[in-house]
Amino acid sequence: MNRVKRLLPYIGIILGFVILSGLYFWPVVLENKVLPQMDNTHAIGMAQELFELEQQTGEKAQWTNSMFGGMPAFQIKSDSSANLFNYVNKVIALGLPYHNIAILFLYLAGFFVLARSMGFNLGLSFLGSVAFAFGSYNLIIIIAGHITKAYAIALMAPVIGGILYTYNRNKWGGALFTAIALGAEIAYNHVQITYYLALLALVLVLDKLVRAIKMKALKDFLRRTALLGVSLVLALLPNISNLWTTYEYGKESIRGKAILAEEEASRPLKGLDPDYVFAWSYGKGETLTLMIPNFNGGGSKPLGMNTDLTKGLQQRINDFLIKNGINYGQHQGQLVNQLSGEIMQQSQYWGSKPFTEGPVYAGAIMCFLFVLALFFYKGDEKWWLLAGTILSIVLAWGHNFEWFNMLMLKYFPLYNKFRTVEMTLVLASLCIPVLGLLGLKTVIQDPDLIKQNTGKFLASLALTGGVCLFFWLFPESLSLVSAFELQSINAGKAAQPDQAIIYDLLLQELKYARALLLKGDAFRSLVLIFLASASIWLYAKKTISLKYLIPGLIILVGLDMWGIDRRYINKDSFISERQANSQFSPSQADLRIKADSDQHYRVFSIDRNAFNEVHTSYFHKSLGGYHGAKLRRYQDLIDYYLTNDFQMLRVAANDTNSVATIQAVLARTPAINMLNAKYIIYNGESDPVQNPYAMGNAWFVNNVRMVSTALDELLGISEVDLSNTAVIHEEFAEILGNETIGAEAGTIELISYHPDRLTYKANTASTQLAVFSEVYYSRGWKAYVNHVEVPIIRANYILRSIFIPAGESTVEFRFEPTSYKYGKLISIAGSILLIALLIFSIVVVVKRKDDKILNTEV
């Protein structure tokens, strides 16, 4: 009975988290609406072929031809059926709606676990959970559809909690919990977030090591660290299939080594290009968005979406024009309207990134508590939390702190595999509320500290509220325009000196509007910090009691975070299920193509951004698509051929005789033709153009051009007749041997299509070399002729080729990656091992309790 009573508060808090999550996403619950999420839409489009296969046959394919000519499915729709943690994640989500409510619930519950493991009471734990869960970045990525990223972030806190529990309290229980939490986190397969979590864990462990050395407790530290090492292994084993295939694929993707020699020579680093990595770098000053959300204007929304900014705009424009001697009389109003429209289309955001959905806001009150902790909290956790926060911020600066971040790219293991460095701020978003709670707990336990150290308290207020006050009073102290905008305005004035006054007007209005944004949020944060600090001061003076302080702070923090989040997810963000389902409505061109009875061909869509869309992939096997880690060789093909082909076809589509003109262009697009792009969509509401030059599923060649470099291999595509000649790198010379190429005619036909299993019938009078319009990927594809495995040759830089003997033959390609096959077996074994350890642990705990009861009775 006592045990049940002890559990009641936790049950109540869990229910509270469920209710809070449901209230935030109430249209999902009460109105049966959905949240349109761009990346989730992309995921649906990418994986449609795989979904249809699973629905129709129950099979899970590891390869898909739905985009980029064909690529492994590991990063699109992985098979995690053998992974125990996949089922753990389903359980802890409590069956809540996967794409929104369950995420917010786990944000709340995950931080609560961390807070309780650190000894915070229920009230403080609840406060920290609300602050972390409703951090703006955590909600913005939900509307963006970064679902696996969100879940990985939600499980960071429990992992850190498990590590701390292992070091500070029960090493056995902590290690086992860490294994489960980390395994669940890794199971979401968002390697970048897991990598950043590892960076924070490394900082924590190094801090513990230094303290162990100082306290002469190295032996105990090593024992506990070794147990955490075992936890890591236990977490990895069930996840090994996904991790192994991801690692293997990464080497062949744009995140791996460059293939072309001149590209490799021009790149100072291996991995991703630095410009690509640092494209979304947080500005140094932009870091203040952690405390003042609109410090850089918020999201990249047009100014016109905010009526407060546009109020009086036309009058200001008119006054400015008249003041500068511009008065068109009766046409003045037309000019004012035109200029007003142009100004309202300008972005609210003026930071260093190309664009953004919104800022990373950790909360004004939590930033105040964080600084307060720096002055008042003296415990061991202070320094690794501070170091983790600073590291997170410095890494997010990217090219704005280039010397350090270039060193990280060059020397720190695997760091150059990831882009969008602002994502590292997830660590600051976790560390700030944790250290903030430690500071609050310190002054709650000893309120006399504030009276004894009034200067420190006022310093905390000055470093947070004082900063807000300054920018409320003096927003013009900042430039309020980005360097790129200023450069564009100056370039425009230089190119059109007669229009210089108009550019001056644009600059004036940008500064005016953005100053209002900054002032509004600076004042907002100032008020919140004042209310929170005043509450703590009154508590220290014993004017208010603890039973009012904590609920009051929970309400303040909740209103603060909820209010900012509502700027990005509100009732207008949701749409009906009917609207959501219509996002993949087939066009006339799609329907005409789907009527083709051919088993396997490809489509190239030029009426959309071919290499950044998934509509085509949803319905067809596409040459384009959307993915952050395309195969390196295919990216090279895009850079050297397909992008130019796309532009030529777009121009041809505008011709009065577009079909004939497009077909004429297709005669000069060897890359499109060898990939068997049978249809070109140039207008969704028109019939597609059939490509008379598409080379089919397979063909025999009469000649081989041997080349010695990757560049020659790539350029050779446009230098030979691919229907008769294959361009082959000399690394395959031994396989070619002394075989005679193209001695006799023959036929080859695809008779069975499956994403990772293709079957052909061939008939030749002599041994011949066949080229297949299938993407070459050496880490899994195997070829069989009459059930005997034969080597696959890479042809035309990106395709497969094999020798076929004389007579009738059955040719089969099977995608059988060793990493998936054996990885799945290891995953099963790891899952069984972990289950056995859990059962053993439960038995030991129960036995100890029984023994304790017996000893007490005796």
23 lies in some domain: no
Ordered strands of the 725-729 beta sheet: 698-700, 768-775, 799-804, 793-795, 725-729, 703-707
Sign of CA dihedral 452, 458, 459, 463: positive
How many whole angstroms separate alpha carbon 638 and alpha carbon 635? 5
Amino acid at 812: E
605 beta partners: 681
Last residue of a domain, one of 673, 693, 713: 693
Last residue of a domain, one of 314, 344, 374: 344
Using an 8 Å Cβ cutoff, are 784 and 821 in contact?
A: no
Q: Are residues 334 and 399 in the same domain?
A: no
Prediction pTM value: 0.92
9 lies in some domain: no
Q: Are residues 357 and 244 in the same domain?
A: no
Q: What is the pLDDT of residue 857?
A: 45
How many whole angstroms separate alpha carbon 247 and alpha carbon 369? 41
Q: What is the pLDDT of residue 267?
A: 53
Residue 605 sits at the vertex; the CA angle it makes with 603 and 609, to the nearest 5 degrees, is: 140
26 lies in some domain: no
Q: Quick one: average pLDDT of 830-849?
A: 86
CA distances from 93 to 105, 572, 654 (A): 8, 26, 51
Question: What is the pLDDT confidence band of residue 398, given thresholds at 50, 70 and 90?
Answer: very high
CA distances from 393 to 154, 285, 425, 427 (A): 20, 11, 6, 9
Using an 8 Å Cβ cutoff, are 639 and 632 in contact?
A: no
How many whole angstroms separate alpha carbon 337 and alpha carbon 342? 9
Amino acid at 545: S
21 lies in some domain: no
pLDDT tens by residue, 494-532: 888 888 888 899 999 999 999 999 999 999 999 999 999
The SS3 assignment for 279 reads: coil
Q: What is the pLDDT of residue 853?
A: 47
Number of domains in the chain: 5
Q: Which two tokens stand for residue 350?
A: 């003026």
Q: What is the pLDDT of residue 852?
A: 55
Which of these, 249, 247, 243, 250, lies nearest to 83 by C-alpha position?
Answer: 243
Q: Are residues 174 and 73 in the same domain?
A: no
Q: Are residues 605 and 543 in the same domain?
A: no
Which of these, 206, 196, 128, 200, lies nearest to 167 by C-alpha position?
Answer: 206
Using an 8 Å Cβ cutoff, are 684 and 588 in contact?
A: yes
Q: What is the pLDDT of residue 264?
A: 54
Element (H, E) at 680: strand 677-681
Q: Are strands 602-605 and 677-681 parallel, antiparallel or unpaired?
A: parallel
Instruction: Give residue 495's domain range.
Output: 257-301+347-578
Chain centroid to CA 235:
22
Ordered strands of the 602-605 beta sheet: 602-605, 677-681, 689-690
Place of tokens 């808090």: 13
527 lies in some domain: yes
Element (H, E) at 237: none
Q: What CA dihedral angle connects 131, 136, 139 and 145, to 10 degrees? A: -150
pLDDT tens by residue, 755-799: 999 999 999 988 999 999 999 999 999 999 999 999 999 999 999
Element (H, E) at 750: strand 746-754
Which of these, 807, 799, 796, lies nearest to 783 by C-alpha position?
Answer: 799
Question: What is the pLDDT confidence band of residue 856, given thresholds at 50, 70 and 90?
Answer: very low
pLDDT tens by residue, 367-384: 999 999 999 999 989 999
Chain centroid to CA 518:
28
Q: Are residues 319 and 406 in the same domain?
A: no
Q: Which two tokens stand for residue 245?
A: 């295939």
781 beta partners: 815
The SS3 assignment for 81 reads: coil
CA distances from 571 to 18, 131, 139 (A): 19, 22, 14
Q: Are residues 397 and 533 in the same domain?
A: yes
The SS3 assignment for 690 reads: strand
Element (H, E) at 713: helix 710-715
Q: Are residues 135 and 277 in the same domain?
A: no
Q: Which two tokens stand for residue 352?
A: 């260093």
4 lies in some domain: no
Amino acid at 741: I
How many whole angstroms separate alpha carbon 798 and alpha carbon 717? 10
3-class DSSP string for 501-561 = HHHHHHHHHHHHHHHHHHHHHHHHHHHHHHHHHHHHHHHHCCCCCHHHHHHHHHHHHHHHH
Q: Flag whether pLDDT at 269 surpasses 60.
A: no
Q: What is the pLDDT of residue 809?
A: 95
Name the percent of the chain lying above pLDDT 70: 97
Residue 550 neighbours by CB under 8 Å, 6+ apart: 123, 124, 127
Last residue of a domain, one of 517, 544, 578: 578
Using an 8 Å Cβ cutoff, are 836 and 257 in contact?
A: no
Q: Which two tokens stand for residue 382?
A: 């202070």
Cα atoms in the Cβ-side hemisphere of radius 13 Å centred on 602: 28
Q: What is the pLDDT of residue 460?
A: 97
Helix boundaries (H) for 93-155: 101-117, 122-133, 136-144, 147-154
Q: What CA dihedral angle connects 824, 827, 831 and 834, to 10 degrees? A: 160
pLDDT tens by residue, 312-340: 888 888 888 888 888 877 778 888 888 88
Question: What is the pLDDT confidence band of residue 855, given thresholds at 50, 70 and 90?
Answer: low
Q: Flag whether pLDDT at 825 surpasses 90.
A: yes
How many whole angstroms separate alpha carbon 801 and alpha carbon 572? 53
12 lies in some domain: no
Q: Are residues 562 and 436 in the same domain?
A: yes
pLDDT tens by residue, 333-348: 888 888 889 899 999 9
Name the percent of the chain lying above pLDDT 90: 73
Q: For residues 295-334, b (16+ Cβ closer than 10 Å) or e, as one string?
A: bbbbbbbebbebeebbeebeebbbebbeeeeeeeeeeeee
Q: Are residues 397 and 535 in the same domain?
A: yes
> Phi/psi of residue 60, each to 5°?
-115, 115
Q: Are residues 154 and 39 in the same domain?
A: no
Using an 8 Å Cβ cutoff, are 677 and 579 in contact?
A: no
Using an 8 Å Cβ cutoff, are 66 and 53 in contact?
A: no
Q: Which two tokens stand for residue 145?
A: 């559809």
Helix boundaries (H) for 377-453: 381-397, 402-411, 425-445, 448-452
837 lies in some domain: yes
How many whole angstroms separate alpha carbon 592 and alpha carbon 584? 16
Using an 8 Å Cβ cutoff, are 516 and 472 in contact?
A: no
Q: State the greatest distance between any 2 C-alpha atoms of the chain, in Å, as a whole number.
A: 105
Q: Are residues 289 and 427 in the same domain?
A: yes
Using an 8 Å Cβ cutoff, are 227 and 172 in contact?
A: yes
pLDDT tens by residue, 695-714: 999 999 999 999 999 999 99
CA distances from 719 to 128, 640, 705, 726, 814 (A): 64, 13, 10, 11, 31
pLDDT tens by residue, 475-497: 999 999 998 899 989 998 888 88
Cα Rg of the chain, angstroms: 31
Query: Which region among 160-169, 621-630, 750-759 has the lowest average model confidence (pLDDT)?
Result: 621-630
Q: Are residues 633 and 681 in the same domain?
A: yes
Place of tokens 């309400």: 555
